[in-house]
Amino acid sequence: ADKKDEDAAAKKRKKEPPKSKGKDWQTEFLRVLPFATLIFACIGSLTALIGDDETQTLLALPARLKPSSDAPLPAFRVEIFVRRYSRSTRPWIQFHCDNALFTVNVACAPDARHEGGRLVCVVDDELQQLERDEGEATVHPSSLLHAVTSMTTGVRYSLICFFHRKEEVEVQ
């Protein structure tokens, strides 16, 4: 009977959604992200993983780039995913601009945990390398030229949010 109870409990645990919030959210997505990219189907999926307050903070970040004018920001469609970088899976990303209005890039672990894999960008014609701690986010217009340097050792995870302008629905 004990073996059947253990088996039933194990099956139940497999069916339950993750309950992690706050600091241990990284452990949960590392479990489901062994290779390259985890795509969130909706904001609710991210909220279930990191919590409502953290999700709302994340979604509010593009407003910090808003000019001081009274014009409101447009409505956004948000594309959310976690990227895994390692020497063998995604060793680097060449310089590029994103295809969105704004990008939010959150370090899911401190840069000190791996060698290489640094976020670099070109600002005022100068190359800048960013050192980030776990949970620190960079927020930038997607037109910013940026890259990820070559991974040497370890694994790097980033939570990426692309904020796209919501297409207006035509009224007929």
What are the 10-residue block averages of pLDDT along the chain, 172 residues in total? 54 41 50 60 84 91 76 82 88 94 93 95 96 94 95 93 73 44
Alpha-carbon span 128 to 13, nearest angstrom: 45
Give pLDDT, residue 73: 72
pTM over the 0.85 mark: no
pLDDT recorded at residue 168: 41
Q: Which residue has the tokens 């949960």?
A: 28
Q: By C-alpha distance, which of 76, 73, 43 is closest to 166?
A: 76
Integer angstrom CA distances of residue 153 from 85, 110, 124, 149, 160: 10, 14, 31, 12, 22
